[in-house]
Structure 1
Amino acid sequence: MAEHDPNPPALFDLSALTPESQVSFMDLEDPDYAYMFGFLQADGHLAAGPGLKGRLTVEINVRDIAVLREFQRLTPYNSSITERTRTTNFSASHHSATWTLCALEARTRLNELGIPYGRKSRKITPPRVEFSRRDYLRGVIDADGSVGFTSAGLPFISLTTASTAIGAYFCVYGRKVTGVQRYIGRNKRDNIYNVMFQKEAAMQLAADLYYPDCLSLKRKQLAASALATWERPADMKRVVGRRAWKPWEDTALLQIGNAEAAAAELNRTENSCALRLWRLRTGQVAAPSEAPPGR
């Protein structure tokens, strides 16, 4: 079916652009731009054309069209939103909305900040300039993550990504907010990372990322708010006081090379040593430096 826009928005007048408006476009210290950039990194596509032509496109389910209208409002260049209905592997009539931006200046800015042309899923990394961290990460989660309750009724927030840098950043940020350590590892089915926080950690992280009146997908904002209603059942065991692994312990574990022997030496359980040894050997945890052991 041909693309159409039943309510085409007014386009920006390029002659009205000022140097100040162009410079401020995609200032990643601005929460809205940080969110927008995270979303575009995860769900956008930057394509080059002949000469200086090219375009940035984002296609999402029409139910989330409001966020595309926000992107259009934040962008001081001509852009358009169109809708289409097509058959996919999951639906006979998938109704989607697409935001398209062609301006060379805008594409250049986005490319310089870290959105590559063409296939990008493994290449993207967190920005290398100052940026609003929780807003950026919320954009990534809105595009490639999930928020809600598991089939067992447990709160969760998760991210699915092919980028090692993005997966690791989610783990680091999550630990900073919740104190819970997560590790990344590609799954065997499709070779991507699935990182999940559950229970109280999910509640804490969702509350941090989805604060009141933030730019977000409204359905995920509502899901994040719903997590706050969960209460741990009285009979559900809580794990507390988990010891973090120190560099000297990792060094000793690798030198001993045996979980049973290391458990006695390090005053840890055999299961804990076996899991840590596997993570070190498979690269899921960085190997310790050669600094002398210290407690």
Structure 2
Amino acid sequence: MDLEVPDYAYMFGFLQADGHLSKGTGQKGRVTVELSARDVGILHEFQRLTPYNSNISGRTRSTNFAASHTSAIWTLCALEARTKLNELGLPYGPKSRTITPPRVPFSQRDYLRGVIDADGSVGFTAKGFPFVSLTTASAAIGAYLCFYAGRITGVERSLKRNARDGVFNILYTKEAAQKLGAHLYYPDCLSLDRKRTAAESLHTWTRPAGMRVAPDRRRWTPSEDRLLLALNNDAAAAEELGRTEKSCYVRLWRLRTVKTPLPAGA
């Protein structure tokens, strides 16, 4: 499985996010992916890409969201395949917090498209704004998306776990979503049909006349924090740093109450 090949990079990202690698007795075990039956096409693609015997089955059951839900399940049992996937970074058992981007060379945008197809969303908000989002429990995956998407869109995102369930919700909207969607979902790429269609529709949005473009948030640096603490005066710091008094006041309060870690040497 060469992760520099776009289709395999996509497949591996998808398996990390939505697959399950389990061990049985002895050398037994399996890789499984269970999706809604509407997405069975991508499982056939995985079957095509895998040079080992695998099968696709279906089942219908009741869930918390529907009285009757039909799903498709792809199953791969070959020991050699399982060993390779595990070596590349697909852990056995629970993995949502422990998965990381591959440590071997890989096709980055195809890998991230696989992760987003499995655990993300693409489309329009209730207000009609284009968006691309990812929900993940893995700090490494979240940080990598923020780093990569920042290079593509010019928009910075910070990581913070949701207080309710401990996951990261990373969201890009408007022009940033258009740029990221067009980059990840390029023509003829391997992807879920419905998400590729949604990504292709993002370009139809145009910023309404008069809608303000929010400036990029200027992040505080350790040297600015040290100067702010040394001056201990939001008005003086605002003039020295070229920031507003309000932002200096809030930052100084956060530093004093240790809601923000103190910079080294402070």
CA deviation profile, 1:260-294 (whole Å, cap 9, x unmatched):
6643442212454467679989999998677xxxx
Separation of aligned partners in 2, 1:216 and 1:256? 54
Contact 1:31–1:132 at 8 Å: present in 2 too? yes
* Aligned counterpart for 2:47 among listed residues 44, 61, 72: 72
Q: What does 1:176-195 correspond to in 2, within 5 Å?
A: 176-195=151-170
Any idea what SS the aligned residue of 2:31 has?
strand
Which residue type is aligned with residue 179 of structure 1?
G
In the TM superposition, structure 1's runs of 4+ consecutive aligned residues that sit over 3 Å from their partners are: 240-247, 250-265, 270-290
Partner of 2:242: 267
Equivalent position of 1:97 in the other structure: 72
**Deviation at 1:249?**
2.5
* Structure 2 residue matching 1:90: 3-state secondary structure: coil
Matched position secondary structure for 2:32? strand
Which of 110, 119, 122 pairs up with 1:147? Answer: 122
How do residues 1-295 of structure 1 correspond to structure 2 at under 5 angstroms? 26-240=1-215, 243=218, 245-253=220-228, 262-273=237-248
Q: Where does structure 1 lack aligned partners over 5 or more consecutive residues?
A: 1-25, 291-295
- Asked if structure 2 preserves the Cα contact closer than 8 Å seen for 1:58 and 1:100, the reply is yes
Amino acid at match of 2:103: R
% identity of equivalent residues: 67
Q: Which amino acid aligns with 2:90?
A: I
Q: Secondary structure at the match of 1:135?
A: helix
| 1:258 Cα deviation from its structure 2 partner | 7.4
TM-align CA RMSD: 2.7
The one-letter code matched in structure 2 to 1:167 is G
Q: Partners of 2:91 and 2:33 in 1: how far apart?
A: 14
The whole-number CA distance in structure 1 between the counterparts of 2:227 and 2:93 is 44
CA-to-aligned-CA distance 1:42-65 (integer Å, 9 cap, x gap):
000000000111000000001000
Q: Which amino acid aligns with 1:73?
A: R
Q: State the SS of the aligned residue for 1:213.
A: coil
2:176 is matched by which residue type in structure 1? A
Aligned-partner SS, 2:58? strand
Cα distance in 2 for residues equivalent to 1:283 and 1:215: 47
Query: What is the CA distance between 1:184 and its match in structure 2?
Result: 1.0
Separation in structure 2 between the aligned mates of residue 152 and residue 211 of structure 1, nearest angstrom:
26
Supply the distance in 2 between the matched residues of 1:95 and 1:66 (Cα, whole angstroms): 14
Take 2:259 and 2:4, find their aligned partners in 1: how far apart are those partners? 31
Which consecutive residues of structure 2, in runs of 5 or more, have no partner in the other structure?
Answer: none
Note if contact 1:184-1:284 (Cα within 8 Å) is conserved in structure 2.
no
Q: How far apart, CA to CA, are the structure 2 residues paired with 1:288 and 1:203?
A: 36
TM-score by length of 1: 0.82
Instruction: Tell me if structure 2 keeps the 8 A contact 1:46–1:55.
Output: yes
By how many angstroms is 1:36 displaced?
0.2
Partner Cα separation in structure 2 for residue 63 and residue 281 of structure 1: 53
Distance, in Å, in 2 between the alignment partners of 1:209 and 1:87 is 34
Q: What SS does structure 2 have at the residue aligned with 1:228?
A: helix
How many residues align? The count is 265
Q: What TM-score do you get using the length of structure 2 for normalisation?
A: 0.90
Secondary structure of 2:204's partner?
A: coil
Structure 2 residue matching 1:169: 3-state secondary structure: helix
